[in-house]
């Protein structure tokens, strides 16, 4: 256990479904992140939240909608996804964005398959 | 622009061999941070080390060692006497200040397979 918990671990959804990914941390971190990990591609930063405020959106399609109700919880709402959205979605947290002494703490990810 | 290159896509070694994972970075900033993470099959990335741009001392932690050379913009990672449990994907990452916030960029990762 890393201290960052992601649910579900695996998700299969149709292109017309709506689902949500959840991330939770009780490490006292103020920044939370969503990353997408596709095969043979670098980790792609999707969203950054710092003190519950979204500070970065890396041109992510609107079919991905993040929500951060408090510094401990982060959601990624999914709707009308495409097969190319199939990937491992990783949540991470840190005290501050980008240069923490102990890096980011990652969850184990949600393996998403869009059919 | 930031860039992190891990040219080795996959490496296979036999247990007890030493192995070095290469990381080359590009940055225009003088203050930046470099990281290594390990991603075991369970999926989470595990932080291994952070190095700031002003500290070129090499570091050793058990069987792990890191060689930071600013002259060649490299931050290589060596595992001595590799073990099967070292099998994982290893990511190098660079963080530098951009527009008032730190931007973090990962390399594409190197998959290490340690064979018994």
Average the pLDDT over B56-85 and give the result: 94
What is residue B111's predicted lDDT score, i.e. its pLDDT?
Answer: 96
What is residue A1's predicted lDDT score, i.e. its pLDDT?
Answer: 73
What is residue A77's predicted lDDT score, i.e. its pLDDT?
Answer: 98
Share the mean pLDDT of chain B: 92
DSSP category for residue B2 = -
Contacts with B4 from chain A: Cβ below 8 Å: 42
Q: Smallest Cβ distance to B101: which of A55, A102, A107? A: A55
Cα distances from A59 to residues A65, A91, B22, in angstroms, run: 12, 18, 30
Pairs of CB atoms within 8 A across A/B = 59
Whether B52 has a pLDDT exceeding 80, the answer reads: yes
Q: Where are the beta strands (DSSP E) in chain A?
A: 4-7, 10-13, 18-25, 31-37, 44-50, 53-57, 64-70, 73-79, 87-94, 105-106, 110-114
What is residue A79's predicted lDDT score, i.e. its pLDDT?
Answer: 94
What is residue A109's predicted lDDT score, i.e. its pLDDT?
Answer: 95
What is residue B100's predicted lDDT score, i.e. its pLDDT?
Answer: 73
Contacts with A95 from chain B: Cβ below 8 Å: none
Rounded to the nearest angstrom, the minimum Cα separation between A76 and chain B is 18
pLDDT in tens, B93-114: 999 887 777 778 899 999 999 9
CB contact under 8 A, A102 and B44: no
Low-confidence ranges of chain A (pLDDT < 50): none
Cβ–Cβ contact B25 with A under 8 A: no
How many CB atoms within 10 Å of residue B69?
A: 11
Whether B2 has a pLDDT exceeding 70, the answer reads: no
């Amino acid at each position: 256990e890393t201290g960052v918990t992601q649910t579900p671990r695996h998700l299969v959804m149709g292109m017309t479904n709506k689902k949500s990914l959840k991330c939770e941390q009780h490490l006292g971190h103020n920044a939370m992140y969503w990353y997408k990990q596709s095969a043979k591609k670098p980790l792609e930063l999707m969203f950054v939240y710092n003190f519950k405020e979204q500070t970065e959106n890396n041109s992510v399609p609107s079919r991905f909608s993040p929500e951060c109700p408090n510094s401990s919880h982060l959601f990624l709402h999914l709707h009308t996804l495409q097969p190319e959205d199939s990937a491992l979605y990783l949540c991470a947290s840190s005290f501050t964005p980008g240069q923490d002494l102990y890096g980011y703490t990652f969850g184990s990810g949600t393996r998403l398959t869009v059919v | 622009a930031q860039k992190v290159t891990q040219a080795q896509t996959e490496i296979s070694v036999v247990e007890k061999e030493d192995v070095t994972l290469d990381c080359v970075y590009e940055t225009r900033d003088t203050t930046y941070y470099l990281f290594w993470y390990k991603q075991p099959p369970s999926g989470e990335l595990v932080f291994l080390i952070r190095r700031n741009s002003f500290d070129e001392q090499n570091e050793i932690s058990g069987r792990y060692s890191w060689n930071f050379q600013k002259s060649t913009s490299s931050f290589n990672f060596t595992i001595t006497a590799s073990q099967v449990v070292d099998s994982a994907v290893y990511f190098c990452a660079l963080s530098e200040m951009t527009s008032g916030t730190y931007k973090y960029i990962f390399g594409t990762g190197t998959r290490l397979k340690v064979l018994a």
